[in-house]
Amino acid sequence: MFPVARAAQSLVARGIQHTAVRQAHRKHELTFHDKYGTMVLLGGAAMFTSVWGYVFTTLKIEWGVSPVGRVTPSEWRE
């Protein structure tokens, strides 16, 4: 192995080892997502459901509208 490649490999390995040791000795602190993630997700789902429920119930939407039987063709003119 070339000396430059060997030195680069040892630097990368040493950096990974330092990072692993640093993370192993540090206390795990709760982040915003650890503390409030589920509540924010449930709140957003409830808000989404309530807003779209309101929109769908207040609008006069006819589901499955089909023109069959309502539209009659006009007579053919030559």
Cβ neighbors of 1 (< 8 A, separation 6 or more) are: 9
Q: Is the pTM of this model over 0.85?
A: no
pLDDT at 13: 73
Residue 12, both tokens? 């990368």
Kindly give the parts of the chain with pLDDT less than 70.
1, 4, 7-8, 11-12, 22-27, 61
pLDDT at 75: 83
Secondary structure of 11-75 as H, E, C letters = HHHHHHHHHHHHHHHCCCCCCHHHHHHHHHHHHHHHHHHHHHHHHHHHCCCCCCCCCCCCCCCCC
pLDDT at 68: 74
